[in-house]
Chain A
Amino acid sequence: IVMTQSPVTLSVSLGERATLSCRASQSISSKLAWYQQKPGQAPRLLIFGASTRATGIPDRFSGSGSGTEFTLTISSLQSEDFAVYYCQQYNNWPPYTFGQGTKLEIK
């Protein structure tokens, strides 16, 4: 399964909303996760099951979608949110597959 994220780079101002998209080449039900990765760090789980926040993740992060179309929304961007975001499917395996990433940068 090929995961395609858009856009590749997203420029957003502090306090604004960011919307990131992820598309699967075939249906993955709701078996989708979102990860955040900051420079020099390991990825961190944000969302699993397409819409469930992981432990300790602020409620400004929300996920939606099912089947082939998914969205990660960050409602009011904080400085610590600027990072690269990856989606990953875990419905059809092996292998797990990741999207190519969306870099969220400050406008």
Chain B
Amino acid sequence: QVQLVASGGGVGQPGRSLRLSCAASGFTFRNYPMHWVRQAPGKGLEWVAVLSNDGDNKNYADSVKGRFTISRDNSKNTLYLQLNSLRAEDTAIYYCARSVTIFGVIDYWGQGTLVTVSS
């Protein structure tokens, strides 16, 4: 079955960086666009970024544009999110997720990894 396992979360200081990973299995990873979606503690869902299956097309939410970078390694079935210039408002659970087309419906979500930005 489809599995998406996110890792790399933890405590990061304001202005510093973190890198999240998402290991995919149970499907042909290279065929699917992938997303990151986050959820601040006790809050709703906020879409963060999407990357096409071949890695050529990417889009970001305005709130992270210029600070976060989404990437993938299809040979390792892994999605990444590089978080730079961290802010307190980036504190959230970060979920990786897939869609069938680049801006189609998100059909599977991973379990998430918690990022806490604090000095």
Q: Is A90 within 8 A of B105, CB to CB? A: yes
Q: Is A45 within 8 A of B95, CB to CB? A: no
| In-complex Cβ contact of B62 among A41, A93, A95, A100 (8 A) | A95
Q: Is B44 within 8 A of A44, CB to CB? A: no
Say which size band chain B's interface belongs to.
20 to 34
The answer to whether B11 has its CB under 8 Å from any CB of chain A is no
A residues contacting the other copy or chain, number (CB 8 A): 22
Q: Is B107 within 8 A of A90, CB to CB? A: no
- Shortest distance from the beta carbon of B107 to any chain A beta carbon, whole Å: 5
Q: Is A96 within 8 A of B95, CB to CB? A: no
Q: Is A94 within 8 A of B106, CB to CB? A: no
Nearest A-chain residue to B100, judged by Cβ: A48
Nearest B-chain residue to A101, judged by Cβ: B44
Q: Looking at chain A's contact residues, is the secondary structure mostly helix, strand, loop, or mixed?
A: loop
A66–B88 Cα gap in the complex (Å)? 38
1/0 contact trace for A76-107 toward B, CB 8 Å? 00000000001010100111111111000000
The answer to whether B27 has its CB under 8 Å from any CB of chain A is no
The answer to whether B104 has its CB under 8 Å from any CB of chain A is yes
The answer to whether A7 has its CB under 8 Å from any CB of chain B is no
